[in-house]
Structure 1
């Protein structure tokens, strides 16, 4: 099956979920974050996914988030809806609801028990006929899905166009999958954004962080316009931030929600339980990094206004 590369290049924001003091979702704040990301030049959105604390959200909360983002985006960039569920029946119900609201780009996040189970789950979701399937390849301690499985699904399922690689390490897998699919399977990097410069050099098409919209879009734009040294210089300025935030998924969610709160975009930095603690020392260290991020974004905004 001959496929063309899915046309999505740049920064795709994975949205954190904004909670009120009453632990409900603040859709106005979510839309504010989307607006800020669009202003910074992001190429798309993924919602809800692991950074959104997706397994702590009800079905109705997920649907309301996707609906709100679709409305705010208004077709300007792709919106990819996360259909992550451990239960196949729940995944199918959620996917049908996304398709009914007009969101035809979806992320499959399928728990891997064995290859037969994984294929069955994938195929039953694919049979519901989404327009574009992005598959999440998440493994916090290893290589993730086998190359042969990925390539076979890509060859035989027309809608499977994109792979979100979040494995340890990710770099070699980026290159291997690009080579095995002749560069036609869209590759994005998520958790491995701390190796963004390596990913850019390996030809990764998109990166999926959760915050620092202007910084990430600036790095990507500099690299793509041939200013690789400037891109690397800017990236090195956020590397200490990533070293702190990427200790664990829960720490990342805590940190970037705190950043969004300090930016005045989210009403609280709250996360839902259960989650790893974010104690007073974490908060003090985070606040130093946040001050640095805010200063860096202020400088970039000033530079852009003069350009």
Structure 2
């Protein structure tokens, strides 16, 4: 069963804009050294829309090879059509991955019948996979309601998890788990771990944040599961300012923090993101410095907060 911290890995780029495969290996190594319970690639936080088919396939194989069976790999297979999602799922199977995460495209609509047909076509075409139904909020996602998700999942045994990241996600997680079909193994939280305590208290089996503070998120997860809610809350409180900033700058923030931690050499992105100016970087550095005692994996190379 998937559980715990399952970060979505970013795609690192060299200064010339090409994919940096060596850096991708370092990201995987960092995640594993942090004690994560699985990794996700590619996802929206991987800038998947900016990767061509060759890049996407080679990076997924790199991740699978580097993980070498130590933790589960969840492959993103979202696409504008069922046919493309099927192709991504088959590529994942060929790479040795059996769990794929798929968000229904908005073009399908939001009715239970239409979305169920989308997932049904995928499950029929690639019967060896388990599906994580990703439910993202509008405008990126379809913002499916819990009753719709339950109807879809109940009719499709291949859907074994739901990643619930609508806002607020808490009531939806409660509703899904209260009425879930027997084959649905769990609900995974999204939202970049900005609501992880609430999600866990409602019964979420895991979380899919970004990877830049995976070691802290693992410590939070372990504290919660051991019954030390006070420690979990303290770790959450001390890192929440960073996650709030991450919500604005997304992958650029993740890569900047990874560069400050010695994992990456730049924070280049292909996606069109808000630019981070000197004040933004100074604020990130200040919060990283305040949380530096929590950063237990790899090198911590932080400038002084006043620099």
**TM-score, structure 1 length as denominator?**
0.88
Q: How many residues align?
A: 292
- Equivalent residue number for residue 60 of structure 1: 54
Query: What displacement does 1:182 show?
Result: 6.3
Q: For the Cα contact (< 8 Å) 1:107–1:134, is it kept in 2? A: yes
Range 128-137 or range 87-96, more displaced = 87-96
For the 8 Å contact 1:18–1:267, the answer to whether it is kept is no
Offset, 1:297: 0.9
1:3 corresponds to: none
Q: 1:123 corresponds to which residue? A: 120
Residue 263 of structure 1 aligns with which residue? 261
- Tell me how far 1:300 sits from its aligned partner: 11
Q: How far did 1:36 drift?
A: 1.7
SS in 2 for 1:265: coil
Distance 1:84 1:210, change over 3 A: same
Out of 26, 44, 47, the residue aligned to residue 32 of structure 1 is: 26
Partner-residue secondary structure (3-state), 2:117: helix
Q: Would you identify which runs of 4 or more consecutive aligned residues in structure 1 move more than 6 Å?
A: none
Give ranges in structure 2 of 5+ residues lacking alignment.
300-307
**Structure 1 residue 180: Cα displacement:** 1.0
- Equivalent in the alignment of 1:204: 204
Q: 1:299 to 1:62 in 2, by over 3 A?
A: closer
In structure 2, distance between residues paired with 1:217 and 1:229: 15
SS at match of 1:157: coil
Matches of 1:267 and 1:240, distance apart in 2? 24
Q: The residue matched to 1:237 in structure 2 has which SS? A: helix
1:177 aligned residue: 176
Q: Structure 2: how far apart are the matches of 1:201 and 1:120?
A: 33
Q: Deviations over 1:147-198 (max 9, x none)?
A: 2332122222222101111101101011110001168441111115111111
Matched, 1:186 2:186: yes
Matches of 1:140 and 1:293, distance apart in 2: 32
Question: Would the alpha carbon gap of residues 69 and 300 (structure 1) be closer, same or farther in structure 2, given more than 3 Å must change?
Answer: closer
TM-score by length of 2: 0.88
Cα distance change, pair 9–273 in 1 and its aligned pair in 2 (3 A): closer
Q: Pick from 95, 98, 102: which aligns with 1:108? A: 102
Instruction: Quote the residue 1:4 is aligned against.
Output: none
Structure-2 change in CA distance of 1:257 and 1:190 (3 Å): same
| 1:290 pairs with one of 273, 288, 291 | 288
User: 3-state SS of the aligned residue for 1:118?
Assistant: helix
Residue 275 of structure 2 aligns to a residue whose secondary structure is coil
Root-mean-square deviation (CA), in Å? Answer: 2.2
1:54 Cα deviation after fit: 1.0
C-alpha distance in 2 between matches for 1:33 and 1:192: 17
Is the 1:11–1:44 contact (alpha carbons within 8 Å) kept by the matching residues of 2?
yes
Partner of 2:165: 166
**Deviations, residues 283-303 of structure 1 (Å, cap 9, x unaligned):** 2222222333444214999xx
Distance 1:192 1:47, change over 3 A: closer
CA separation in 2, counterparts of 1:299 and 1:107?
28
Kindly tell me: are residues 125 and 179 of structure 1, through their superposed partners in 2, closer, same or farther at Cα, counting changes over 3 Å?
Answer: same
**Structure 1 position 29, deviation (Å):** 1.4
Residue 40 of structure 1, CA deviation? 1.7
- In the aligned structure 1, how far is the partner of 2:90 from the partner of 2:297? 44
Q: Relative to structure 2, which stretch is displaced further, 200-209 or 179-188?
A: 179-188
Query: Counterparts of 1:41-52 in structure 2 under 5 Å?
Result: 41-52=35-46
CA distance in 2, matches of 1:276, 1:298: 29
